[in-house]
Amino acid sequence: MFTGTININGTLMDLSIPKVMGIVNLTPDSFFEGSRTPQEEEVEKRVRQLLAEGADILDVGAYSTRPGAADVPVDEEIRRLRKGLAALRRVAPNAVISVDTFRADVAKMCIEEYGVAMVNDISGGDADPHMIDAVAYARVPYIIVHMQGTPQTMQQAPHYDNVVKEVMVQLAEKVRRLHEREVNDVILDPGFGFGKTLEHNFELLAHLDAFDIFELPLLVGLSRKSMVYKTLDITPAEALNGTTVLHTLALSKGANILRVHDVKEAVEAIKLWQMVKKYENEN
């Protein structure tokens, strides 16, 4: 497990204690209906709730990345983000914000106009050749997500000979390119659900500690995803308990950041996991 820090707007965030990233969806079609906040008053209410429950980071997105989601024009993504970030900043001017986008111009706008502190790129730099330049220039932490295909195609028969090895090899090449550009605060996300079958997802989770070799922070996004609700034959709305179980397993295998819809439950899982680790280390 990574036990160092990342630079957030000049302040070091200690990741030796796992952090919670609360999801703020500005889309009208996110896979989990309960997380959608397309209106400004809904954004304000959502932000207050997430921070009150203990969120360390707010991840704001305006482009639905659920399998088969429709493409969103760049001007519409920017419009949604400007509206949502303005509402967010009204109620939480000092919050640490991540923007969930794969477009360099969108990331640049969010950083320059709203003080966004990090970029969460589901394409890992593949969708926009200018993204790495933008991140390097802004000197903000960059989350590389592994994805096979695009949101429109990623679940059309994804295939791997060895999913853990292939994800690690592809992430290693992206890390090398980022370090060459002196992007030092790199966070890895193996991309649960992004171009992977249920079996691929569980194999990745089972071997999550293999990513320790990178000596980089590890983010996991498991919240209410299909690996929970399809396995249990329930709906995303019913998947909180299963999500919490997988979060606990991810923590035990080295996760530094949990990206979640439900902050309170994730914070509780971390506290209980920390207590176990405390006594484990004392004996």
Residues 109 and 103: their CA atoms lie apart, in Å, by 10
Question: How far from each other are the two terminal CA atoms of the chain, in whole angstroms?
Answer: 19
Considering just the CA atoms, what is the radius of gyration of the chain in Å?
17
Q: Of 90, 259, 264, 277, which residue is the catalytic one? A: 259
Residues 205 and 249: their CA atoms lie apart, in Å, by 8
Phi-psi region at 54: left, alpha or beta (left = phi > 0; alpha = psi -120 to 50): left
Q: What is the DSSP letter of 252?
A: H
Cα angle value 131/224/13 (rounded, 5°): 50
Residues 136 and 138: their CA atoms lie apart, in Å, by 6
Cβ-defined contacts of 40-44 (< 8 Å, 24+)? 40/83, 40/84, 40/86, 40/87, 41/87, 43/84, 43/87, 43/88, 44/87, 44/88, 44/90, 44/91
Is the four-CA dihedral 17, 136, 184, 207 of positive or negative sign? positive
Helices (H), 181-254: 198-206, 226-229, 240-252
Q: Active-site residue 225, yes or no? A: yes
Strands 5-8 and 11-14: antiparallel
Q: Active-site residue 174, yes or no? A: no
Q: Of 46, 174, 196, 225, which residue is the catalytic one? A: 225
Active site residues: 225, 259
